[in-house]
Structure 1
């Protein structure tokens, strides 16, 4: 039996602020393939973006940790690579008898630039956790099965548990009196708890009978399995109605889950207030047309002009470019304006950020907005571009609506919403006329300011929309 000393275990790296896990979308390599340094080995989806993950090691792929659709926590094994001419798949010790050791080094240093590999730099060699994570006490395989405590099957790696039970056929209930359910991933265990699924009723479809995330989701979607997971107390279970035959069950995962969590937190923590005003945007549209007629090769959008107006307003009312530090019991006003732009994409509502937007000219704002929103919709923005905003601009008028009371993008303190621009009757110099009218709404955190500041900001924005020449005095 060969002792594996030189294999490199690449852990899922830190993917950015607030991101603790990623879902495997597609493996780009297979066991036995030869990889080079910085070669993309897997595509993962975080709560912020789809990311190609390169491997900092060169060699032959020994194991892939996780299947497509599985969520991997940051810091857990992702791929194992052995040096060419060294240990290969046939040289591995069986799972449970060998603990892989990783030579601590920084590798290429190019893994998800800006976030690091999360396991380099010390130069020391130390023992890594077992690739097969021991189940918790209440789910541990009984000693009578011959499986030592802490020995299991690493899902997706092709290694089985020595002496373990034969993998049951997928899709049914576990046999009565059989061994406890084999669960490796803490994500699976947490998901089952959240959805009220009894793991003992499931047959695992993973290697060696391991229960995977897909098994829990399938049980949730099936009415019979969902009802079987509810303890029989003789009482009606309010709020746990089974899914009907024609119902569509959509797991609250990935970006949708993060959006739900963030918006719920915003509503819980922020005492928000919304104020609004109707404005005549005819002058704004005329100004845009004049700018674009002069330089048609570098057009300026209405959104870019609104961004410029917001920056002018935040310069005058910096109280809104802030956030509340609840732990420190303080209000922090940001030195720069990191402008978030709400963008609807196929993957959900994203808010990419233009850092230090106050330093950009109006044309630069227009170019940056076009590039950023296109990248957001294509799913190519890195996680760092989706965090750290201090103020958000939301153009919900593109959906054909006039107004909204949006939820603040936590932990920011304010959000300006813009409705559609439509022809409406308007009084101009005492005469009725048809003008281009829109509604502006400002939702703000009442902890950072009172109505005077919020009203002053919104009135300044409205005045600049109606009379764009006022911007000249502030830029």
Structure 2
């Protein structure tokens, strides 16, 4: 037995770090190839990371809630000794650019020959003769021709390796070729297996030949079309010199090389359920609400200290989101115009007497906005508990329609994604949304001297129909004052 270290892979799209949300395995557990071992959260989505090795987990690196950079160790796996002393290979599977580097090198076994027409080894038919022999043996020639849309490298003969080379494996031995095929996920591998598709016959459109789901679906459609339209042809293959006139009659016509990444069809995702409701609401918001955004930087050092002191005093822990929510409800009491909605049929602004506070939560199914009822009547402990309950329900997909509707104001804490600022779309039919960026150390003038302080960017997007810039600016300035001096809240408690 020896240990292999599995590192946080490159998750693509320029992401450089991820937060551990939940470990799916414990030290001592037996894991299989491609088994998800940890759930992480990036700036894009929640992702389950599969392990490319099979063995026993001997160590985990990082607790839940810890942020790790790409390339940092995730866990170590004890695997059996290699059969020939060589380093064992992983699955070859990837998320985006992640997998074993050895796998792609063994996807094809070819033997170089002269750079002219292919020369068959002694006792083995050439490309044209092989197809002819297959036809004489009762195998339709169409099965050896590439289906329209199945990718072949430029300069290859249909059903064979590169022109100028001859394969050193017979068709009967193709199923025993070694080396895993790199695919973007185990789901793609299963899709190909269920439809009897050999992944080694595809040329992936992803990085380093990575096979995407779109490649498999395109190949299946192309094979279906080819099955309906393929006709035998007596023309010899233009790039293969036949060994005998009789064999050339069985050679299929040349097919233009088509890469499976051609933008035909694509992946279609129905806009229905929660995703469809969100799309409709955001589209309506853009059509109906003339929004504007103002923002300000605030020194959050004292707020962070106040939270630390609260949690050190014992009792339930207070979340930062709960403190920000408490500040919002206090600000809305001073500037109630922002806790309103517009009735266009009656052409009236309806100012509401209660605060149902929505907050943005990222889930596997997309962005949802659970609503905390009567947030203005809750203290920090109650807000913390309700945020935790609704967040867990959002991640498990158990939120009720009542918990997703009826909000009057939204708090969007996009700082958890490492974002400094944003101009979000107002959650229709509300009138405003407060965005909170990440809190990071920055140089700041404090009490007349330059110091390193914890700084946050606050942004308010508001409906310009319900108020002017003076009201929006006053609301945002009050929120910033409470962040910088939490004692200001004592005036409204």
TM-score (norm 1): 0.49
TM-score (norm 2): 0.47
Q: Which structure has the bigger radius of gyration?
A: 2
